[in-house]
Structure 1
């Protein structure tokens, strides 16, 4: 992983069945965001779908409220597991920034998933560490991968380590050089692909 630092908080007793991956973009991007495209290519031949949120589909720049985004994710996830012929619990959910946050909230609210992939998770708004976006962490019981830049203004490594401890499921963190968008697309993609492979193998 080059200059990345990986820390395993814990490991699952056995690997979950992984049948597909749903990816979502950050608030300022769409499904064609370069990191998402790179991840899709890296995990092949695992089925992967990059999904836009409703506000993007209608041409708006104002992100959807969580309840709208979560309902959309639940619908998209159900459609994908039906199309791919996999169990709902075999689908991995994830994305960048806002997209990853919405996926984590969806899983916390009961949307079935094998695991979560959170890229540049927005732990809090820049300069406002008191406004944490972690109230749902205690309800996440699936394996979680967190990949962020060491200089990300949306959350320091120390803040992440403190807040991620609330997640009951096993958590792996990887820190990369850079800020909220480390721009190490292929490296991020390789980290995600490698983690999913190890997870499925029970490693």
Structure 2
């Protein structure tokens, strides 16, 4: 069953779309979108359809700027404020909460994980650097998450390919072959789009089950 909830934050009203676990829930995965799109992203929708059947309640979070109909995301500090504001709602079921996001949302999850008491972080398409500017690394945010972290990254992501990520970090990294920043794969790639999405859901499910 899918339900929606409006949550007031200091950055404005956010919206949570709940996809409740269909068997005994072990975790809540609270996951938000990036700076250029919403919860309709293929990876977020796939997780919302797949994980509830395996005991994970998925809360798709729309930041206040999206709910307000704005086209440009605000500064990182404002995104963090919005995320802090929704946290009591996603933690209310009393279950461990995996803090997640794609792209800019992944950065928010990393920056706030310890502060909010997240059980783990799921970083989808972590924007390691702006395209073409590897010197402007955001690795510190990822390395500073402070909790078990899974990065799922497209093999051709211009914001950071898997082999660009720092070695020895306290995180796991799964590559989606040929995937771009939105996990789209070229038509002539070695895998189809459905297979690419399955790589994401299988990796997240296996990792979530390993958390205990």
Matches within 5 A, 1:66-85: 66-82=76-92, 84-85=93-94
The structure in which a higher percent of residues are strand is 2
Equivalent position of 2:209 in the other structure: 197
State how many pairs are aligned: 174
Give the structure, 1 or 2, with the largest relative contact order (CA under 8 Å, sep 6 or more). Answer: 1
TM-score by length of 1: 0.79
RMSD (Å), alpha carbons: 1.9
Structure 1 position 113 matched with structure 2 position 118: yes
Residues 52-201 of structure 1 mapped to structure 2, 5 A cutoff? 52-82=62-92, 84-86=93-95, 90-107=96-113, 110-162=115-167, 165=168, 167=169, 170-178=170-178, 179-183=180-184, 184-200=196-212
Alpha-carbon distance, 1:157 to partner = 2.5
Mapped contact 2:111–2:141 kept (Cα < 8 A): yes
Taking structure 2 as the reference length, the TM-score comes to 0.75
Gaps of 5+ in 2: 1-24, 185-195
Flag structure 1 segments of 5+ consecutive residues without an equivalent.
1-16
Partner Cα distance (1:160, 1:18) in 2: 30
